[in-house]
Chain A
Amino acid sequence: MLEIRNLHATVAGEEILKGLDLTVKPGEVHAIMGPNGSGKSTLTNLLAGREEYAVASGEVLFEGKDVTELEPEERAHAGIYLAFQYPVEIPGVSNLEFLKASLEATRAAQGKEPWDAVTLLRQAREACKQVDLDPQFLKRGVNEGFSGGEKKRNEIMQMLLLEPKLALLDETDSGLDIDALQVVARGVNSLRSPDRAIVMVTHYQRLLDYIVPDYVHVLADGRILKSGGKELALELEQRGYGWLTGEEEASA
Chain B
Amino acid sequence: MDDLLQEFLAETGENLDTVDRELVRFEREPNNRDILRNIFRLVHTVKGTCGFIGLPRLEALTHAAESVIGQFRDGAVVNAIAVTAILETIDRVKDILAELSDKGQEPPGNDETLIGELHALAEQAKAQLAKAKPPSSEVADPVAAYLARHGSTATDSELDLIFQRAPGPQRGRDGRIEPAESAGEDGVLRESRAAGPATLRVNVDTIEHLMTMVSELVLTRNQLLEVSRQQNDTGLKAPLQRLSLITAELQDGVMKTRMQPIGNAWSKLPRIVRDLSAELGKRIELVMEGADTELDRQILDLIKDPLTHMVRNCADHAIEPPDERAAAGKPEHGTVRLAAYHEGGSVTIAIADDGRGLDIERIRRKAILLDLGSEAEIERMSDAQISRFIFHPGFSTVDNITAVSGRGVGMDVVKANVDAIGGVIDIATRAGQGTAITIKIPLTLAIVSALIVVAGKQRFAIPQIVVRELVRVKSGADHRIEEINGAPVLRLRGRLLPIIALSGLMGSTDAMSDDGFIVVTQIGERQFGILVDSVFHTEEIVVKPMSSKLRHIPIFSGNTILGDGAVVLIIDPNGVAGLVGAVANGDPLRDPTTAAAQSLAGERTTMLVFRTGADSIKAVPLSLVTRLEEVDAQQFQNGGGRILLHYRNRLIPVVAVAETQIKSEGLQPLVIISEGDLTIALAVDAIVDIVEETLDLEMAVSQDRSVIGSAMIRGRATDIIDLAHYLPMNEPGWLHSRRETQDPAAPPQILLVEPSDFLREMLSPVLKASGHRVAMASDFATAARQSANGAMSIVLIDLDRDPEAAFAFAGTLRAEQGDNRLRILGMAALATPELHMRAAQARLDDIVAKFDRRALLGELAERRPDMRHAA
| A and B form one complex | no
Residues of B within 8 A of A (CB): none
